[in-house]
Amino acid sequence: MVNQKSTATTDIGFTHEDFAALLDKYDYHFSPGDIVPGTVFSIEPRGALIDIGAKTAAYIPIQEMSINRVDSPEEVLQSNETREFYILSDENEEGQLTLSIRRIEYMRAWERVRQLQAEDATVRSGVFATNRGGALVRIEGLRGFIPGSHISTRKPKEELVGEELPLKFLEVDEERNRLVLSHRRALVERKMNRLEVGEVVIGTVRGIKPYGAFIDIGGVSGLLHISEISHEHIDTPHSVFNVNDEVKVMIIDLDAERGRISLSTKQLEPEPGDMIKNRDLVYEKAEEMAAKYREQLLAKQQGIAAGAATTTESLGEEEIPPAVEPIEEEEIPAAIEE
């Protein structure tokens, strides 16, 4: 009887090595970049311990708890709460993994802004800071940049802090960590929705280039190309206009996708060359000439021969600069702050 008990005791021996082997058998293998469920079991002053099924509790530092600023772990986590975590790094010398919620939020934020860009959505956000190149806003928690050339306001940039602006997406590039937006393009689109081809508008000359004049019409810029100033040849727009001149122009094209408004005074001339010889007559007869242009345009669209209709000279794509200026590469800060 004694011998039997002794034999049984020997048979069920279970060493520390056996126990470790058993743990290894059922241990999950985690890699940086994995998203795993975990349960909060201990909150510390600057972080929290999370049970994700590893041999050692994983740790999430406070700076990885949210895309936004966090002063206390309790603002984000509660004891026994279960949620998803991103594995940020491999095990340290103690076998502990480092986790992040912030990275998951950034991934979802990029996904959301890509969706908004695909929908050509207009978003609104408050300016929280300005720098030499432009203004900074937050979109879905990401830091967005508005280049100075894409801010359409007469206010100094510094006075925009705290102001909410309508914005369109110019660039969404997660790989390069760039989120670029345009206030001007949002205003152009809104303005375009109220404008029509063939409409006469009053504007102010804001800039003159060799290829034409930029006209401010209600806060957005349209291009009066040199070929659309008069039926007569013009060597330079400077011979017809000065900066700050008030002008009457007709809209001949609206391109919301590119943010372009093309203008003409040539189509308003009662006689070829009147913009050079008698500008006041052109402005006086502007509505009458625009009405004729719209009739000819409608006839053309309907495929009706409308006699000797005035045709608009086609402008090569390369001749028309965008109403919204391009941005300099080095001006753009990162969307995710490290």
Instruction: Give 195-249 pLDDT, tens digit per residue.
Output: 889 999 999 999 999 999 999 987 778 999 999 999 999 999 999 999 999 999 9
pLDDT reading at 53 higher than 80: yes
Residue range 291-315: mean pLDDT, rounded: 65
Q: How far lies 23's CA from each of 17, 96, 206, in Å?
A: 10, 16, 75
Give the pLDDT band (50/70/90) at residue 328. Answer: low
What is each CA distance from 212 to 106, 225, 310, in whole angstroms? Answer: 44, 4, 21
Taking 90 as the threshold, does the pLDDT of residue 29 lie above it?
Answer: no
Radius of gyration of the chain (CA): 33
pLDDT of residue 310: 44
Residue 83 has pLDDT above 70, yes or no: yes
pLDDT at 266: 94
pLDDT of residue 39: 94
Task: Give the chain's end-to-end CA distance (angstroms, integer).
Answer: 72
In terms of pTM, does the model score above 0.75? no
Task: Answer yes or no: is pLDDT of 108 > 70.
Answer: yes
Residues 123-133 have pLDDT tens digits of: 999 999 999 88
Look at 209-218, 276-285, 312-321 and tell me which has the smallest mean pLDDT.
312-321
Go through the domains of the chain in sequence order and give each one's CATH number. Answer: 18-100 (2.40.50.140), 119-187 (2.40.50.140), 195-301 (2.40.50.140)
What percent of the chain shows pLDDT beyond 90?
57
Residue in 202, 187, 229, 167 with CA at minimum distance from that of residue 283: 202
Q: Rounded CA gap, 94 and 130, in Å?
A: 44
> Is 125 in contact with 183 (CB distance < 8 Å)?
no
pLDDT in tens, 139-149: 999 999 999 98
Q: What is the dihedral of CA 238, 239, 242, 246, to 10 degrees?
A: -120
Q: Give the whole-angstrom CA distance, residue 35 versus residue 18.
A: 30
